[in-house]
Chain A
Amino acid sequence: MTMADGARVDTAFVRGAYIASRPPPPGTTGLRGWLRANLFASPFNAVLTVLALAFVVWLGTSVFDFLIRNAVWSGSDRTACLASEQHRQVGACWPFVWERLNYFIYGSYPIPQRWRVNLFFMMLACGVTWLLWLDAPRRDLGAGYFFIVLPICSFILLHGAPLIGLGAVDTSLWGGALVTIVVAAVGIVVSLPLGILLALGRRSRMPAVRIISVIVIEFVRGVPLITVLFMASVMLPLFVSEDWSPDKLLRALIGIALFASAYMAEVVRAGLQAIPRGQYEAATALGLKFWPRMGLVILPQALRVTIPNIVNTTIGLFKDTTLVFIVGIFDLLRTIEAARIDPKWATPVTSPTGYAVAALFYFVFCYSMSRYAKHMELRLSAGRERR
């Protein structure tokens, strides 16, 4: 209500200035207000808060006590990690992890050759960064590097090529985090192209192509990974002639790759369905045939919107690599299982310590992937909202 002076002379009183705002009622702002709104909004809420707090504190202190406060930090065998008069509560047995760390990373890979594994880790890290960092230069070259150059170089590097002076290392010596990462990487590198093919096949107008794709996808998705791995490890050797019989790791890799492809196919199919029909029609109108149409117009868009889902599938795949354990491959979890029952270190705290190491490894990888997926999702939806 702004009124010019003199517009209404008979107005008894008009304030010329605002009253200073009064402070909010006590207990609605600041720490107290926050506590009241978020923790003690009602009696029931207060009870929940107390219970949750008690649980969180109990869990936090037990984990802290186990991993740090009561942990054993030095020693040379199991006696260091046994409960004694001075040390009643024994926590994590870190010297055990320290001694076996190389085994957890490389398995039984020959010690003088381990630089090859380190080089492989570095090459893989470069490839992953190149592919996932969206502002990296020449990402097309990055894809070529990741899907073609890297697999060939890694195979030569890890398996060995006597021709160029790298001694052969039998896959039965591979182990630990190396195998986990190799299995996951092979799963990704094979499943993405194969999944795209299966997804395109499932949407094909040719009935035979469609039916075969549907059967493969639905069959693999309908059975547990373990049975696929069993199929690969006990049935596959029967299906090929004896001279061609693949080695144990390769069999597991085939099973994992097949399994991951079926799941990837469904993710890619969802992406293909999200592309508006107009894009297909426009590409056809430009005179593009099937493969250029897919490769130049549809897939770049479809894969872009499915990056979060692809990463989420990759997290699942990364966790599923632990199942090769069951068909006798020494992945990280299996090396920990083998080490924890070794009589030299067997104590009541050895198993939890080993599992804590495994949990840390898997959590760091999976959590960072899931953060990346979330970040991509935000970035993609931001673009959509601007439009």
Chain B
Amino acid sequence: MTVRPTRSLLTNPILRSIVYQVLLCAAVGLLAYAAISNAAENLARARIATGFGFWNTTAGFDISQTLIDYSSQSSTYGRAFWVGLLNTLLVAGLGIVGATVLGFVIGIARLSRNWLVAKAAAGYVELIRNLPLLLQLLFWYNAVLKALPETRDSFVLAGSIFLNNRGLVLPRAIPQDGSSALALALIGGIVAALLYRTWARRRQAQTGQSSPVLVVGVALTILPALVVLLLKGFPVTFELPERGRFNITGGTEALPEFAALLFGLVIYTAAFIAEVVRAGIQAVPTGQIEAAHALGLRRNLALRLIVLPQAMRVIVPPLTSQYLNLVKNSSLAVAIGYPDLVQVFTGTVLNQTGQAVEVVALTMAVYLVISLVTSLAMNLYNRLIAPVGEHP
């Protein structure tokens, strides 16, 4: 007969773990209760309203860049929120595209056989990664863009693009009759080119015969649009900016704040993406590259067809977190005055309403949602590029 060791209740692991957890929950609950009751008391004393009643109140402040209709007299705080959010998404979206392109170029350049190119890329990465982003943004904004000439002495490119310390003025495209037909033709052409590429790939996989994808693809993209142009004439007119004595009228304008933020984010994030890409490429076994060379593939073909597809599997997860960092870093816009979500909402709206809890909580919720959606999308992509039978 075996004797089970007797245990006192004090050392019973299950009981202990339950006690610990109850204590922890009680402590967290108590903290939350204290915070909430203090907040209620402080808010009541300061006569600050609670809840989202301010959402439909007229905002009464101007925003320098609005992607949707907004006016300081009639638009609400809620509208200002959407304006800020769209501005954040605009700069983050363009930033991700730019940083990915530049990052891949620099990352591949770091592994180049060309000594000078490799060293220059390494120098870029070391320099940019070791300087705070905020310093870089202030530098681009205050030391570079603000040092551009005044409106009177703008740099003029191609006669109708003006660059000065108030931003970049470009001709504005005004669609006329028939522009929708042109757009349709262009989209149709692109779809046809993509379909052709899919067909060509399948044919190559089955028969080994390759097709001139690039030439046919370009032709398919351009020809329908060209036909429409010939039939209907050019359906878009441009409003050219005119230089006055003090101002430039007409055209569309990119704010210097926007340019500085985009530039800074792209340059900063590209340095990190370059490191991710380099690590990913180096993770591909040398045997793969040697096998590709043995098959007679040139260096660039080996890189494109053999190395990068395998490297992508290593690259995608850290690349995702770099994208998320870029989105979060776009909130530094507040330092140079680009009207992003944080500047408009956590800055101006918070100052005007004083409703810190609601405003900060909502801003945080937005970034959390963006983070979640981005990582979901990237996980999906990661699953798509995983080799068959090797689902993570």
Binding site for B on A (CB under 8 A): 37-39, 41, 45, 48-49, 52-53, 55-56, 205-209, 212, 219, 222-227, 230-231, 234-235, 237-242, 315, 319-320, 322-323, 325-326, 333, 337, 340, 348, 351-352, 355, 358-359, 362-363, 366-367, 370
Contact = CB atoms under 8 A, between A and B. Distances in A.
A136 to B, nearest CB: 26
A56 B116 contact: yes
B65 interface: no
A47 B245 CA distance: 44
B235 to A, nearest CB: 39
Given A53-B116, A222-B367, A325 B356 contact: no
B101 interface: no
Contact of A323 (B114, B143, B332): B332
Instruction: Give the 5 A-B residue pairs with the shortest CB-CB distance, closest first.
Output: A366-B130, A208-B21, A38-B115, A224-B328, A239-B35
B143 A227 contact: no
Contacts of B346: 226-227, 230
Contact of A362 (B22, B34, B135, B371): B135
A363 B20 contact: no
A333 B138 contact: yes
Interface residues of B, number: 56
A206 B16 CA distance: 10
A52 B131 contact: no
B43 interface: yes
Interface in B125-172: 126-127, 129-135, 138-139, 142-143, 146-147
B182 interface: no
B21 A207 contact: yes
Contacts of A325: 134, 335
B117 interface: yes
B116 A49 contact: yes
A47 to B, nearest CB: 10
B113 A208 contact: no
A223 B24 contact: no
Contacts of B17: 205-206
A142 B132 CA distance: 29
Given A238-B357, A355-B139, A49 B131 contact: no
B38 A333 contact: no
Nearest to A359: B131
Interface in B35-68: 35-36, 38-39, 41-43, 45
A320 B356 contact: no
Given A39-B114, A234-B360, A238-B39, 17 more contacts: A52-B116, A52-B117, A52-B120, A206-B21, A207-B21, A209-B20, A222-B367, A224-B367, A226-B331, A227-B331, A227-B342, A239-B35, A241-B42, A315-B130, A326-B334, A355-B135, A370-B129
Contacts of A55: 120
Given A362-B130, A362-B135, A231 B364 contact: yes
A222 B371 contact: yes
B282 to A, nearest CB: 14
Interface in B9-37: 17, 20-22, 24-25, 28, 34-36
B368 interface: yes
B255 interface: no
14 contacts: A45-B113, A48-B112, A49-B116, A49-B117, A56-B116, A56-B120, A222-B371, A225-B328, A226-B332, A234-B356, A325-B134, A326-B335, A363-B130, A370-B129
Nearest to A320: B132
Contacts of B190: none
A238 B134 contact: no
A223 B366 CA distance: 9
B284 interface: no
Contacts of A359: 131, 135, 139
Contacts of B117: 48-49, 52
Given A38-B113, A45-B114, A333-B138, A227 B132 contact: no
B371 to A, nearest CB: 4
A208 B24 contact: yes
B82 to A, nearest CB: 18
Contacts of B130: 315, 319, 362-363, 366-367, 370
Contacts of B132: 319-320, 322, 333, 362
A351 B21 contact: no
Contacts of B38: 238-241
A208 B331 contact: no
B360 A235 contact: yes
A242 B45 CA distance: 10
A238 B25 CA distance: 23
Nearest to A216: B28
A201 to B, nearest CB: 9
Contacts of A363: 127, 130-131
B372 A222 contact: yes
Given A45-B114, A224-B342, A227-B331, A242 B42 contact: yes
B312 interface: no
Contacts of B25: 208
Contacts of A231: 360, 364
Among the interface residues B120, B127, B143, B371, which one has the most CB atoms of the partner chain A within 10 A?
B143
